[in-house]
Amino acid sequence: MDSVVYDTADAYDADARDDRRGTGAASVARPRALATEAVHAGREELAALGLHAAPIDLSTTYPSYDSRGEAARIDAFAAEGAEPEGPPVYGRLGNPTVARFETALARLEGTESAVAFASGMAALSAVLLVRNAMGLRHVVAVRPLYGCSDHLLTAGLLGSEVTWVDPAGIADALRPDTGLVMVESPANPTLAELDLRAVAHACGSVPLLADNTFATPVLQRPVEQGARLVLHSATKYLGGHGDVMAGVVACDEEFARGLRQVRFATGGVLHPLAGYLLLRGLSTLPVRVRAASSNAAELARRLADDPRVARVHYPRIGGAMIAFEVHGDPHDVIAGVRLITPAVSLGSVDSLIQHPASISHRIVPTEDRHDAGVSDRLLRLSVGLEDVDDLWSDLDGALGFTSGG
């Protein structure tokens, strides 16, 4: 083996972390553990309503015989972005089922609010548009990021301008028109980790947006380390079953109001059924992340000891993602798996594997991709809930097909 980037010390101790972690909810006398919040947040009043499962409200519009009051509520939303008081108005302003998911995710991330969108990219786009509307079009970002996030910033499709830096260069890159600093830790796909507290300090008064898709609030809550905005591709671990596409930003209420206005204007709303599935997914999030992380830590150990593997990346924070580089042809590994699914995305109950240089990060220029540590031999493995020995048997067989095996 050439080299291994691998650390299992305290790689995953979510049970102890759950026991210490509160919810940040002022209304709860004794802070509840994350596992408890995952089950109950957004559902507190169901029993009083005579319900057990959260209802799905599929209405696109809502009747009102008070047109003057309706006009006043719409005016207030247009002016401030605050959620309308009273019954819903129209599906593009908000939906009760989606609101339950937003409430729950905000509680898990320890923020005042959360705003859900039709996809993770719609959520990121809304953040950029909020800052652009204030004349703050410059973004400072650290690679690697998810490939489409990288492309959105680099291409300037929303009128933004990006400066790519190492973490140590953040403070020097800030300008009067800098509206955002964006990082991802652990990063997609290399699983590189940043000191979020140090990054937040370097940002000064500029909001830090941390993509927490890989870690989830089970492993870290970036607002506790100074981030103002937490981005999730909710398609991944929050949903957890590969059957819902969504994005969400957890943040303070002031920023949330701007996000709601952009969502209303652009129409990037989350469908109520997706909101229901996400709320249901949150209830098992801690259990799923713990189990998948245990599998991943074991697979990372075995890969690190395999002579066909050149390098293994597994974050100190733990988690269910592994990145590894092979001596042989990575495409042979993709073609060789039978139990693991060769597909994009991640965070599902079943294991997925993909070749970032060909798929998720192909849109990133080759030199930039390589500079960020995304080699052409790198494979990204999202570890699921299967038996770990069955997963290893599949990997072992697929690695045998590589020309270096």
SS3 per residue for 5-29? EECCCCCCCHHHHHHHCCCCCCCCC
Tell me the pLDDT band of 29, cut-offs 50, 70 and 90.
Answer: low
Label residue 119 by pLDDT band (50, 70, 90).
very high
pLDDT at residue 31 in the model = 85
- At 21, is the pLDDT very low, low, confident or very high (cuts 50, 70, 90)? very low
Is residue 2 pLDDT above 80, yes or no? no
Among the listed residues 211, 257, 263, 306, the single catalytic one is 211
Measured in degrees and rounded to the nearest 5, phi and psi for residue 73 equal -70, -40
Q: Can you give the pLDDT at residue 18?
A: 46
What's the burial of 68, exposed, middle or buried (CB within 10 Å: 0-12/13-18/19+)? exposed
Higher pLDDT, 227 or 13: 227
Q: What is the pLDDT of residues 246-260, one digit of tens each?
A: 999 999 999 999 999
State the pLDDT confidence band at 11, using cuts at 50, 70 and 90: very low
Q: Which of 236, 257, 260, 263 is catalytic?
A: 236
- pLDDT at site 17: 44
Split at pLDDT 50, 70, 90, the class of 184 is very high
Mean pLDDT value of segment 41-64: 95
247's tokens: 């994005």
- Can you list the alpha helix ranges (DSSP code H) found in 21-119? 34-40, 67-80, 96-109
Query: CA angle at residue 276 from 271 to 280, to 5 degrees?
Result: 145
Catalytic option among 6, 12, 146, 276: 146
Q: Give pLDDT, residue 371.
A: 80
Kindly state the percentage of the chain with pLDDT values over 90: 81
Question: pLDDT tens across 369-391, in order?
Answer: 888 778 899 999 999 999 999 99
146 is catalytic: yes
Percent of the chain with pLDDT over 70: 92
- 387/394 Cα distance (integer angstroms): 11
Q: How far apart are CA 379 and CA 352, in angstroms?
A: 11
Active site residue 236: yes
pTM for the predicted model, two decimal places: 0.91
For residue 212, the tally of other CB atoms under 10 A from its CB is 26
Q: How confident is the model at residue 16 (pLDDT cuts 50, 70, 90)?
A: very low
User: Mean pLDDT across the stretch 64-86?
Assistant: 89
Write out pLDDT tens, residues 163-174.
999 999 999 999
Catalytic residue among 17, 92, 280, 301: 92
pLDDT in tens, 286-332: 999 999 999 999 999 999 999 999 999 999 999 999 999 999 999 99
Give pLDDT, residue 109: 98
Token representation of residue 260? 């709601």
| Per-residue confidence (pLDDT) for residue 83, from 0 to 100 | 86
* Mean pLDDT estimate for the chain: 92
pLDDT of residue 403: 57
- Name the pairing type of β-strands 161-164 and 321-326: unpaired
